């Protein structure tokens, strides 16, 4: 059974008398351990699709089965529960707590999850080591480089051991060298069995993924295995 199963998913937005078809009957299956890039022009529906996959939003029509659970008609509470369990998010703007050091930022999802403090610390340290930041755990976001901040955000996304890592333009605020380092980290995480979906408009970034899905006007225009450079 696929980890992600989207069947004829549509998402419409009603703006007064205008109906915007952000996604039009999109079907997509993603297996455990895949590393996928979603590409497409601005306004094509990438973020809409990510929000649906990440259970931040629900479709207007169609069926979504995530890790063998049909989430299509779930209410917000149930959806939040699935989201916390299954999804780790990485954003373009890092979204770290400015006053908290790296360790505390990574511990946060575990605090919400009710994990005891010793285990929290242990797992946060493990996640920070996995992203190469074992020597920066007491640094606050403004005491780190952009790339290091994004690695803290990746560690935070992974600390709950989610089944999917979702990243919307994770390199958008980074220079190209630092962006490449984040993509190398994602490759490393993919090699270790993590399922990763990255939204990007940069071909260089997408090339790191193993499969590239291109979206245009709310439709999947192509879905191909990436050619490795």
Summarize as ranges the residues that interact with Mg ion (CB under 5 A).
47
User: Which region among 41-49, 84-92, 124-132, 178-186 touches ligand ATP (by CB under 6 A)?
Assistant: 41-49
How many whole angstroms separate alpha carbon 39 and alpha carbon 197? 11
Q: SS3 helix, strand, coil % of the chain, rounded to 5?
A: 35, 30, 35
Q: Of 157 and 167, which has the nearer Cβ to Mg ion?
A: 167
Strand order across the 87-90 sheet: 87-90, 164-168, 195-199, 35-39, 211-216, 219-225
How many whole angstroms separate alpha carbon 200 and alpha carbon 211? 13
Tokens of 171: 């390199």
How many whole angstroms separate alpha carbon 216 and alpha carbon 196? 21
Q: Of 50 and 110, which has the nearer Cβ to ligand ATP?
A: 50
Q: Of 201 and 210, which has the nearer Cβ to ligand ATP?
A: 201
User: Which region among 40-48, 87-95, 178-186, 220-228 touches ligand ATP (by CB under 6 A)?
Assistant: 40-48
> Helix 146-158 and helix 176-191: axis angle, to 10°?
20
- Binding ligand ATP (rule: CB under 6 A), the pick from 22, 96, 157, 158 is 22
Distances (CA, A) of 218 to 12, 41, 196: 10, 10, 21
67 binds ligand ATP (CB under 6 A): no
- Binding ligand ATP (rule: CB under 6 A), the pick from 35, 40, 155, 167 is 40
User: Rg (Cα) of the chain, in Å, rounded?
Assistant: 18
200 binds ligand ATP (CB under 6 A): no
- Binding ligand ATP (rule: CB under 6 A), the pick from 3, 26, 35, 48 is 48
Q: Least distance (Å) from ligand ATP to the CB of residue 33?
A: 25
15 binds ligand ATP (CB under 6 A): yes
Q: Of 20 and 221, which has the nearer Cβ to ligand ATP?
A: 20
Q: Least distance (Å) from Mg ion to the CB of residue 47?
A: 3
How many whole angstroms separate alpha carbon 37 and alpha carbon 185? 15
Q: Least distance (Å) from ligand ATP to the CB of residue 136?
A: 30
The partner in contact with residue 136, picked from ligand ATP, Mg ion, none with C-beta cut-offs of 5 to 8 angstroms by kind, is none
Going by C-beta distance under 8 Å and a sequence separation of 6 or more, which residues neighbour residue 76? Answer: none
Binding site for ligand ATP (CB under 6 A): 13, 15, 20, 22, 40, 42-48, 201
């Amino acid at each position: 059974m696929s980890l992600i199963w989207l069947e004829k998913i549509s998402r419409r937005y009603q703006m007064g008398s205008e109906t915007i078809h952000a996604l039009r009957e999109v079907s997509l299956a993603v297996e455990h351990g895949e590393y996928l890039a979603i590409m497409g022009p601005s306004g094509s529906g990438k973020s809409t699709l990510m929000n649906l996959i990440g259970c931040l939003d629900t479709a207007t029509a169609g069926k979504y089965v995530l890790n063998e659970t049909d989430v299509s008609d779930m209410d917000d509470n149930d959806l939040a529960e699935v989201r916390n369990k299954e999804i780790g998010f990485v954003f373009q703007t890092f979204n770290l707590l400015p006053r908290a050091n790296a360790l505390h930022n990574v511990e946060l999802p575990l605090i919400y999850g009710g994990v005891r403090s010793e285990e929290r610390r242990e797992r946060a340290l493990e996640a920070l080591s996995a992203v190469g930041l074992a020597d920066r755990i007491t640094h606050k976001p403004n005491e780190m480089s952009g790339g290091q901040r994004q690695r803290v955000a990746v560690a935070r996304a992974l600390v709950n051991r989610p089944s999917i890592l979702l990243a919307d333009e994770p390199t958008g605020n980074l220079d190209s060298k630092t962006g490449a380092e984040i993509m190398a980290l994602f490759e490393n995480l993919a090699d270790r069995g993590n399922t990763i979906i990255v939204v990007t408009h940069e071909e260089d970034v997408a090339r790191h993924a193993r499969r590239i899905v291109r979206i245009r006007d709310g439709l999947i225009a192509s879905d191909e295995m990436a050619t490795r450079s």
